[in-house]
Chain A
């Protein structure tokens, strides 16, 4: 007899978010085991029956061994499928390879599309993600994709932790203007834009500020912070233009390379990331980091999905 209950699975590497979600849902994580043999190949086993159950796999992919995490995830999905799960939903808060979403050079791969194909091939029926770098990536999938927003959680953070009447929302590049403008509208704040001329990937050249930031608390909003070079440069530009303080809020704090040094040496007062990407270890190294918990949003999405309720409520509201 199947109970068709929620079964929450997580990789053994980053369980933090999964455990928070499980706690929210009042369930426990399904015991599972990932083993790596001496050659690096992965073996996965599930500790209890998943036949005819509703499977949710939470996978946090940060920086470092991205490819290992991807293969592990694919093996987990496939294991559930061959174990006769009723439905497999993958929760990938930070979608890997999201920035390689177009053929920007001759013979360049569209790796985001490849990831989408591989997830589908492995057997997942539904994908939940958060703040996709480009929402068009949803179209790469043949299965439904729910792109959740961190915005409601960020709005709450700004309202609670920042003296937001004096604040102004900044977009660090033209591509994020829409995101920043949306947030500014929600908070009824002004909005400014930094325009940058990019010479090479991960390197920043010249920045031009559009808008007035004098004596304001600047809140830079972006979907992803990698080496944080952009954020540090943007902070300088803003302070040169008379800003009182600069705070950065990013959804996916990948913080790779010498990001921690960049933040510590920069003029940013605070860098706030959601916990979509595991960075607990970095909190100790960098006192400027702060976290926004999005596990409530994900847990509510899981609950609604399981019960066949609408998810769109979560686009505007963050459950407590």
Chain B
């Protein structure tokens, strides 16, 4: 292990320390501080020339700060002639792709249509107009910018005005017969001839579906650009994330650890029910249930614009008690009714909720309540990444979850002190990470860690 250097970012110094202890090496010294203007300054105090460098940084705390710190450290090692730089991200930042804002009555971009009577083969389709949003900031902004298009006051002609403007630059197109084109206020420079039509009248249904940034590829590319040669992470939210990278990604699993816990610490574990709190995690939960020989249940949340007429007939595993809990959840778009239903039987059983990431803890606490309502005896929650942001930890404390088991992929000291060590257990992943680092450094196979843990 002569050429092995392990450096730690400021997000999780404890984990770095225990990884180094497991590897029986000294941790590389890094001086990380902030300039007075908030910029991050990194000094790597040990030589990394021709070394195999591993940088441990978890995606917790100030996510963006820690991520930039990691990028700067990778880049610093790279230009300091390190042979290979591996980023170790136990919790991968930005691994959850945001949902595209979805409402049942708005289905994607509007259909392009013109009025039938004015339709010609030459007519140009109109540009979709932006979805008007109710926030006061934009309202006032639109109000400010109204004079720009103030000549176009007539509601009925606004659409024709749009059409007209669209064809204005192309003289081959016939001018639509309807509506009169009123020139904009004085055009001062050429850029302002293309003023987009202000959406002050258009509270119509033809909205442009908001574009939501999908950050996954960006984060992957940034790590590669900074100079990372390899990546170690754990329980990626989406396994497809590995495909965003052009470098090898070792996605370790906490499954062996969780399995060990269930086997060793849950009495009569064969009788317990493994429960997935949402349909996305079903695969994760079933694989544990299968390998332990436990039965399995699933909590499924449906979002519908109206109350469901009938819950979809459930192909229930056993005596089939499919239950509907109607929680009315009002989102920004429309009044959506969330139907939470449990598939499977949990009456008088010990339930083990399994999830990869708990952040706001709404899903898992709601799931626990549902399980208790359905007669569950005791509810464990096994979570790989217990982020517990905001007041989530208090919510968990007050909830029906009897015992929380998580790993130290993010610092858990504060959380333990809130819930108390008797009901909050932390599994150590530093041994898995250390073994992965050792194996990667020595060029041995890592796949054995996927099944057996360490």
> Which residues of A are at the interface with B, using a C-beta cutoff of 8 A?
1, 3-7, 25-31, 33, 37-50, 62-68, 70-72, 74-76, 78-79, 82-83, 96-97, 99-100, 103, 105-111, 113-114, 117-118, 120-122, 201-202, 226-227, 254, 256-257, 302-303, 306-307
Contacts and interface: CB of A to CB of B under 8 A. Distances in A.
Contact of A27 (B138, B190, B195): B195
Nearest to B145: A28
B210 interface: yes
B138 A31 contact: yes
B193 to A, nearest CB: 9
Nearest to B192: A26
Contacts of A303: 189-191
Interface in B35-76: 35-45, 47-48, 60-65, 67-69, 71-73, 75-76
Q: Which 10 residue pairs spanning A and B have beta carbons closest together?
A: A5-B194, A26-B192, A79-B213, A48-B130, A109-B76, A38-B389, A63-B37, A257-B36, A67-B68, A107-B44
B449 interface: no
Given A109-B75, A110-B75, A74 B218 contact: yes
Contact of B98 (A43, A67, A118): A43
Given A71-B64, A114-B71, A100 B41 contact: yes
A71 B63 CA distance: 10
B79 A26 contact: no
Contacts of A99: 39
A67 B65 contact: yes
Contact of A41 (B39, B79, B93): B93
B334 interface: no
A201 B67 CA distance: 25
Interface in B104-138: 109, 124-125, 127-131, 133, 138
A111 B98 CA distance: 29
Nearest to B170: A1
B43 A108 contact: yes
Interface in B368-405: 387, 389-390, 392
Contacts of A256: 35-38
A226 B34 CA distance: 13
Contacts, number: 222
Nearest to B193: A5
A292 B129 CA distance: 37
A202 B36 contact: yes
B84 to A, nearest CB: 16
Given A41-B63, A78-B218, 7 more contacts: A5-B196, A26-B195, A41-B96, A78-B213, A107-B47, A111-B40, A111-B75
Contact of B65 (A4, A6, A65, A105): A65
A109 B73 contact: yes
Contacts of B68: 67, 70-71
B148 to A, nearest CB: 7
B191 A107 contact: no
B359 A1 contact: no
A162 B28 CA distance: 55
B359 A38 contact: yes
Nearest to A277: B37
Contacts of B195: 5, 26-28
A257 B124 CA distance: 56
Contacts of A39: 60, 63, 359, 387, 389
Nearest to A116: B225
Given A48-B129, A83-B211, A100-B41, A27 B218 contact: no
B64 A28 contact: no
B141 interface: yes
Contact of B211 (A6, A50, A226): A50
Contact of B127 (A45, A49, A100, A117): A49
A72 B63 CA distance: 12
A202 B192 CA distance: 45
Q: Considering residues A62, A74, A201, which has the most beta carbons from chain B within 10 angstroms of its beta carbon?
A: A74
Contacts of B75: 109-111, 113-114
Interface residues of B, number: 80
B436 to A, nearest CB: 25
B94 interface: yes
B222 interface: yes
B210 A28 contact: no
B72 to A, nearest CB: 5
A6 B76 contact: no
Nearest to B226: A114
A82 B406 CA distance: 36
A257 B68 CA distance: 21
Contacts of A38: 359-360, 389-390, 392
Nearest to A63: B37
13 contacts: A5-B195, A6-B194, A26-B195, A28-B148, A31-B130, A62-B37, A63-B36, A75-B213, A83-B211, A96-B39, A107-B77, A114-B72, A303-B191
B214 interface: yes
Contacts of B212: 43-45, 79
A265 B60 CA distance: 40
A99 B39 CA distance: 10
Nearest to A44: B213
Interface in B409-442: none
A254 B215 contact: no
B166 interface: yes
Contacts of A49: 109, 127-128, 130, 208, 211
B247 interface: no
B191 A306 contact: yes
Contacts of A302: 191
A118 B225 contact: yes
Given A28-B141, A31-B138, A227 B226 contact: no
B217 interface: yes
Given A64-B38, A306-B191, A31 B133 contact: yes
B191 A6 contact: yes
B221 interface: yes
Q: Considering residues B76, B77, B128, B218, which has the most beta carbons from chain A within 10 angstroms of its beta carbon?
A: B218
Contact of A66 (B37, B166, B194, B221): B37
A25 B191 contact: yes
B125 A1 contact: yes
Contacts of B192: 25-27
Nearest to B93: A41
Contacts of A48: 128-131, 196, 199, 208
Contacts of B221: 121-122
Contacts of A72: 64
B198 interface: yes
Given A46-B210, A82-B213, A202-B35, A107 B360 contact: no
Contacts of A4: 194
Contact of B124 (A1, A7, A96, A307): A1
A244 to B, nearest CB: 31
Contact of B72 (A33, A41, A64, A109): A109
B80 interface: yes
A183 B379 CA distance: 73
